[in-house]
Chain A
Amino acid sequence: MALRTLFKSGVVLDIYFFKNNRSAFLFTLIWPYLTLTLIIGMGYLFGSAESFKQNVGVSVDPLMYFIASTLATMVSLDVMWGIGGSVLEHRWIGTLPYILLSPNRTSITLVLTYIPRYLLNAGIQLAEFAPLIFVVEGFYGGLFRLSIVILAITLGMLPLLGFSALFTSFLLSIKEESNVLGWLNPLILLFSGAFYPAYLLPRWARIISKALPSTYTIELARLSAIIGSPELRKITLLIGALVAMSVIYNSASGLLIQAGERKAMRKGAI
């Protein structure tokens, strides 16, 4: 069966869903700005833009820094819990058995039908922030930074898909109906350097940080904000790390999601 059709089914589902749910679409549009406003608002509670520049150590516009952080953090979170979340949603509404009845491998079905939603969410967020980035950085500067962010969230998606599939295999196998790993969200964000740069974390936390793909996604996105000129070596290193993690996480998840599915099928959890 053509994987293109499987991918297309995810696109079609999103189009139908948003067409019939205008309010859901509206909130999808509002959500990134709400998050950005919250982050910037909290930032100003703790100090001015000048003190932020001093703390970070480089001359950078805090707005640009937070836009990049918000984008990377939100899309990382989206993809990390997206596939697992979709499994839970399917279980609640009773569509899970019919999704699994697709002749493709379960991991392929779940990932390919989810990717359109991820791309849509990421696309909406990028499109929403793009004008702001152009206003702050000018056309060429904005274009450059936007390109790095797009690269970061596209490349960052790949290992995170594997990461999400690991979570999904766990959800499938434990007959669970709720996001039992939701409590990990703030910890993952913390270790990924979403709140504080990862190099400020204690040594043991930095080890965990290095194992999380979201760390590299966030770092790559931030780099586009912090650097004054392209630090090609650092960007290359981060891209390399993301590619390596894609291979590791996706290979592991391919096997584990099958194991999770078989366990669920043995237990009668589907």
Chain B
Amino acid sequence: MDVKYDVLELRNRGYSMSEEDSIIARNLRKIYSTYLRKGLIKRERQEVHALKGVSFSVKRGEVFGLLGPNGAGKTTTVKILSTLLLPDGGEARILGFDVVKDASKVRKLIGVSLTVEKGFFWKLTGRENLTYFGMLYGLDGQELRASVQQCLELVGLTSLGVADKLYEEYSLGMKARLSIARALITDPEVLILDEPTLGLDPPSARTLRELLVELAHKKGKTVLVTTHNMFEAEILCDRVAIINEGKIVALDEVEKLKRRLAGKVSLEIIAAPPAKVPVTSLIETVRSLIGAPSKAFPENGLVRLKVVQPLERVEETTSRVLDILHRKGCKIRRVEVKEPNLEDVFIHLTGRKGF
């Protein structure tokens, strides 16, 4: 769909917008109200500031990643951009159209996938589901049939031979593919995908990532993905914004973000704690000892610890951590020092304990 909008008018209103920008978010704010029950009847209203002024823009034909831990505000941002949630402040535009005032125009321009494990009718086949949603979004007749077939082929469901199988028989990978197919059914300019590879096995995730890159770089679609998988963001996204506690803490190309850690290295220690030692308390002890941005979490009964810090301090930190792990009776499985990756950038910027 050819969309014309007045870049100059938007610039006058304070947008740093170019004709290349497909998505613009400017100072987005969102507050959720929750209620804390106090007794049988009484309850106390509490406010959760999910977004505290999020701003970014996404260029046409770009794969843009919104990275962050659970609860950082990724899904809230995605829902606002998809016209499913109203912001409490700020503005967002898709191809020049305001997501609140021009919601119905925006809906014609976007393809959305919010979850990969549900969102379809279980007693319908993949093809029937796509046909239904295609009609709901305005397609009909030959155009609809062609689009359904094309999308099923594009995501590989026809080659897997499952396009005409019931959705309830699909694996998670197939469901994810169908979810992307639905997002593509109207051939939208902009794709907004919330954790599109969550829970997928590595081959399925890789196939999906390749598809998204192809859609952006070969077909000129704008792709916004959220993920908390740093590896995925690193290989998939042209640019990433790291969001933490409702704020964008960094936004750049992956390589440029990694350059921010020039002179620093990533130390990774994997240890097996004895059964009697609670993993969470062990993690807390070690992290309080380090005093530097770190990430530590249990992983298959092991403790995985990552620390980002200047090269000259690595030896000292390593010996201190190993010392306490030994004293707690842990067996050291691996100690590794390497160049920082995107995950380390995230740790450095947020100092978060886990994802």
In the complex, per-residue mask of B129-170: 1 if CB is within 8 Å of any chain A CB, else 0 = 001110111111000000000000000000000000010000
B135 lies within 8 A of A9 (CB): yes
Cβ B76 vs Cβ A109 within 8 A? no
* A interface residue count range (under 10 / 10 to 19 / 20 to 34 / 35 or more): 20 to 34
* Residues of B contacting A1 in the complex (Cβ-Cβ under 8 angstroms): 138
- Cα(A173)–Cα(B121), bound, Å: 23
Verify B135–A8 contact, CB threshold 8 A. Answer: yes
Interface residue SS majority, chain A: helix
CA distance A56 to B118 in the complex (A): 53
Chain A residue nearest to B122 (CB atoms) is A93
Contact A8 B121 (CB under 8 A): no
Contact, CB under 8 Å: B121 / A95: yes
Shortest CB distance A116–B (Å):
12
B15 on interface, CB distance cutoff 8 Å = no
Which residues of chain A come closer than 8 Å to B115, judged between CB atoms?
A: 94
B227 within 8 A of A: no
Least distance between B125 CB and chain A CB atoms (Å):
8
Give complex CA distance A103, B122 in Å. 24
Q: How far is B101's CA from A262's CA once the two chains are assembled, in angstroms?
A: 12
Q: A270 an interface residue at 8 Å Cβ cutoff?
A: yes
A6 touches B136 (CB 8 A): yes
B137–A101 CB distance below 8 A = yes
Residues of B within 8 Å of A101, CB to CB, are 82-84, 107, 110, 112, 137
B319 at the A/B interface (Cβ < 8 Å)? Answer: no
Tell me the B62-85 residues at the A interface (CB within 8 Å): 76, 79, 82-85
Contact indicator per residue, chain B 93-127, by CB within 8 Å of chain A (1) or not (0)? 00000000000110110101011001111111100
Q: Whole-angstrom distance from the CB of B76 to the nearest CB of chain A?
A: 7
CB of B302 within 8 Å of the partner chain: no
Pick from A16, A20, A100: contact of B132, CB under 8 Å: A16
Q: Which residues of chain B come closer than 8 Å to A102, judged between CB atoms?
A: 107, 136-138
**Residues in B whose Cβ lies below 8 Å from that of A103:** 104-105, 107-108, 137-138
Interface status of B228 (Cβ within 8 A of chain A) = no
Give residues 85-108 of A contacting B (CB, 8 Å).
93-95, 97-105
Question: A13 contacts B76, CB within 8 Å?
Answer: no
Closest A residue, CB atoms, query B144: A5
Residues 247-267 (chain A) with a chain B CB within 8 angstroms: 262, 265-267
**Cross-chain contact A17 with B123 (CB below 8 angstroms):** yes
Q: A92 CB to closest chain B CB, in angstroms?
A: 9
Q: Give 23 CB contacts A-B under 8 Å.
A: A1-B138, A5-B139, A5-B140, A8-B135, A12-B131, A12-B135, A16-B123, A16-B124, A17-B123, A20-B123, A93-B119, A93-B122, A94-B120, A97-B84, A97-B119, A98-B119, A102-B138, A103-B104, A262-B86, A265-B84, A267-B32, A268-B30, A268-B76
Extra 7 A-B pairs, beta carbons < 8 Å, given A98-B133, A105-B104 = A9-B135, A94-B120, A98-B136, A101-B82, A102-B136, A109-B136, A265-B85
Interface residues in chain B, defined as those with a beta carbon under 8 Å from any beta carbon in chain A: 30, 32-33, 76, 79, 82-86, 88, 104-105, 107-108, 110, 112, 114-115, 118-125, 128, 131-133, 135-140, 166, 182
